Chains A and B, each alone.
Chain A
Amino acid sequence: GQQVMQIPQYQHVQEGEDFTTYCNSSTTLSNIQWYKQRPGGHPVFLIQLVKSGEVKKQKRLTFQFGEAKKNSSLHITATQTTDVGTYFCAGPLDGQNFVFGPGTRLSVLP
């Protein structure tokens, strides 16, 4: 069936190091969304990418949508302890509904 996959499942980094999580879809996506969930919290929308090859930046976060619109990445430069949480990608695979990937859990060691 249609799936959204993410790697890695977990990532532990030292504060100041960079971090990247990758999202892959089994089918071409019209768009892709990214969410962040802090420990004990709820998912919060970060961004939506629509165009092939699109790159968007939010301060230290860089989001990219692949040319084939089947993959995406989130890169954080110089991680901080406030970046701790689980990052989910979501794509509209199931008709009109977004299917969430399993998430990448980021730990940042001070």
Chain B
Amino acid sequence: EADIYQTPRYLVIGTGKKITLECSQTMGHDKMYWYQQDPGMELHLIHYSYGVNSTEKGDLSSESTVSRIRTEHFPLTLESARPSHTSQYLCASSDPWTGNDEQYFGPGTRLTVT
């Protein structure tokens, strides 16, 4: 079982609130990702990181920001939540140096913005 954790698992907040979704992995992986996924739908890459102090935007335009101060930690922040942000957010990590770049996913955070 992969050692990647996300908190909170579920979150209901009001419009305009600032929130941070936490993601941590204990595998020492350099690469980390954030995906947005509506139930039963495809995954959209919103942010990724190659390592400490590296952050990149993904394919899906997002009003969120990320930081990578430590290898194991990759939090995602929404400065002002909107109902359109209601979705599941999945964090993942991989070790591209192994040759297969398999992504290990966390359990996800289900966010509802009212």
Residue numbers of A with Cβ under 8 A of B are 31, 33, 35, 41-45, 48, 86, 88, 90, 92, 94, 96-103, 105
Given contact pairs A48-B100, A97-B58, enumerate 18 new A-B contacts (beta carbons under 8 Å): A31-B100, A33-B100, A33-B103, A41-B107, A42-B90, A42-B107, A43-B105, A45-B102, A45-B103, A48-B101, A88-B42, A88-B43, A90-B103, A97-B45, A97-B48, A100-B42, A102-B41, A103-B40
9 contacting pairs across A/B (C-beta < 8 A): A33-B102, A33-B103, A41-B107, A42-B90, A43-B105, A88-B42, A97-B58, A98-B103, A100-B42
- Give the chain A neighbours of B41 by CB distance below 8 A: 102-103
On whether the beta carbons of B42 and A102 are closer than 8 Å, the reply is yes
What separation, in Å, do the CA atoms of A50 and B106 have in the docked complex?
A: 25
Main secondary structure of the interface of B (DSSP, over half): loop
B104 at the interface (CB under 8 A from A): yes
On whether the beta carbons of B106 and A42 are closer than 8 Å, the reply is yes
Residue numbers of B with Cβ under 8 A of A are 33, 40-43, 45, 48, 58-59, 90, 92, 96, 100-108
| Pick from B43, B105, B108: contact of A44, CB under 8 Å | B105
Q: What's the minimum C-beta distance from A36 to chain B, rounded to whole angstroms?
A: 11
| Minimal Cβ-Cβ distance residue in B for A1 | B59
On whether the beta carbons of A43 and B103 are closer than 8 Å, the reply is yes
What separation, in Å, do the CA atoms of A18 and B20 have in the docked complex?
A: 43
Q: What's the minimum C-beta distance from B75 to chain A, rounded to whole angstroms?
A: 18
With A96-B96, A100-B42, A102-B42: A43-B48 Cβ-Cβ less than 8 Å? no
What separation, in Å, do the CA atoms of A100 and B41 have in the docked complex?
A: 11
What separation, in Å, do the CA atoms of A102 and B44 have in the docked complex?
A: 10
On whether the beta carbons of A101 and B102 are closer than 8 Å, the reply is no
What separation, in Å, do the CA atoms of A51 and B79 have in the docked complex?
A: 45
On whether the beta carbons of A101 and B103 are closer than 8 Å, the reply is no
Q: What's the minimum C-beta distance from A65 to chain B, rounded to whole angstroms?
A: 14
What separation, in Å, do the CA atoms of A46 and B104 have in the docked complex?
A: 11
On whether the beta carbons of A100 and B40 are closer than 8 Å, the reply is no
- Give the chain B neighbours of A86 by CB distance below 8 A: 40
